[in-house]
Amino acid sequence: MRPGPALRTCAAIAAAIVLTACSGAGEGPSTTGLEKTALTIGVSPTPSSAPVFIADRKGFFKEEGLTVRTEVIQAPQTVMPKILNGSMDIFKGSYVSLINIQDSGAAKIKILHDSLAAAPGIAGVVVMNDSPLQGPKDLKGRTIAVNSLDNLGTMSMSAHLKAYDLPPEEVKFVVVNFEAQLTALKQSQVDAAWMVEPFLSAAQQAGARLLLDTNTGPTDALPIDGWAATEEWTARHPRTVAAFQRAVSKAQRLAATDRAVLAEVVPLYTQTPKEAVMTMAMGTFPTTLNATRIQRVADLMDEFSYLKAKVDVASMVVPLPEQ
């Protein structure tokens, strides 16, 4: 990212962001009939987390009897102990992450709400302006930073590199958090980096150039990420799940139609200036939860041998309640 406000993300997100103060764990039946009223939610420092922040600021969670506390995560796999012991209730992850967890047996996952679908310009591979790399074919034998392995970035790149007859085994993926990727590029620790917004546009303004847009062609309009919980947690908290879904659905509709609403909340947890949010590339915010659409991700994962067996996404989806 560029020097300045966007790079100060690290300090801003190192600790959990408290949206609404919670007085306790909130377990047990409440006056609203919810099994749990105080939730800890794992979010990523990207625009697709915005609906949770919109739902809080607009009072949608409060209307449902919920208070929420958020914690920034890079991927669900990095906080599996918290997910499994119940100290993190709901979390956002790329569908690649969620399906990977399901396939690995680490946990049974339920998808509660869609969050973001791909659009050109919101993610891609960048290099520094003076890099000798001029096109995707030049990535052969090179080191590429990604926020996590076997995830959305590696799969998206694999789908695109296939078009250039470049197997994913012929590049080297290394884990570097989004916040540290630009520094790694500048210090030649990596040859390229897969970034998402707001990190992508910030890096381009700080001396990087786009080598490959990973949200076109084979990944055009690909479902990116969604909100999830474990099957066990979902079974124990059905009314809480429905309340969360209703609140986020309202926020999702605002995110899908009003860029100004996004611009109000994204700076709260990314330090990206409001003006940048108004103009940067943004994916689409689906207002329905469609298993067939998300199955496309599972099928790509199967194609690139990410899975031990085919995954039926329909079995993972919790239908949205009537509004």
CATH classification at residue 259? 3.40.190.10
Where does the pLDDT of residue 8 fall: very low under 50, low under 70, confident under 90, or very high at 90 and above?
A: very low
Same domain, 214 and 112: no
Given 153, 185, 219, the domain boundary residue is 219
| Least-confidence region, from 11-20, 94-103, 137-146, 202-211 | 11-20
Same domain, 244 and 294: yes
Residue with tokens 């915005």: 50
Same domain, 151 and 255: no
How many domains would you assign to the chain? 2
Where does the pLDDT of residue 271 fall: very low under 50, low under 70, confident under 90, or very high at 90 and above?
A: confident
Using an 8 Å Cβ cutoff, are 291 and 208 in contact? no
Same domain, 184 and 53: no
Q: What share of the chain in percent tops pLDDT 70?
A: 90
Using an 8 Å Cβ cutoff, are 308 and 299 in contact? no
Cα–Cα distance for residue pair 222/138, rounded to 1 Å: 25
* Model confidence at 1: pLDDT above 90: no
Q: Which tokens in the block code for residue 17?
A: 């962001």
322 within a domain of the structure (yes/no): no
Mean pLDDT for 290-294 is: 97
Same domain, 65 and 111: yes
pLDDT digits (tens, 9 = 90+) for 40-78: 999 998 899 999 999 999 999 999 999 999 999 988 988
- Non-local CB neighbours of 310 within 8 Å, separated by 6+ positions: 298, 302
CB atoms within 10 A of CB 206: 18
Mean pLDDT for 99-105 is: 95
pLDDT digits (tens, 9 = 90+) for 215-229: 999 999 999 999 999
* Model confidence at 172: pLDDT above 60: yes
Same domain, 13 and 101: yes
- Non-local CB neighbours of 32 within 8 Å, separated by 6+ positions: 64, 65, 243
321 within a domain of the structure (yes/no): no
If you ran DSSP here, which 8-state letter would residue 319 be given? P
Domain holding 176, by residue range, is 123-219
Tell me the whole-structure pTM to 2 decimals. Answer: 0.82
Residue with tokens 């100290």: 87
Residue with tokens 């694999």: 158
* Model confidence at 292: pLDDT above 70: yes
Using an 8 Å Cβ cutoff, are 3 and 206 in contact? yes
Mean pLDDT for the chain overall:
90
Same domain, 102 and 249: yes
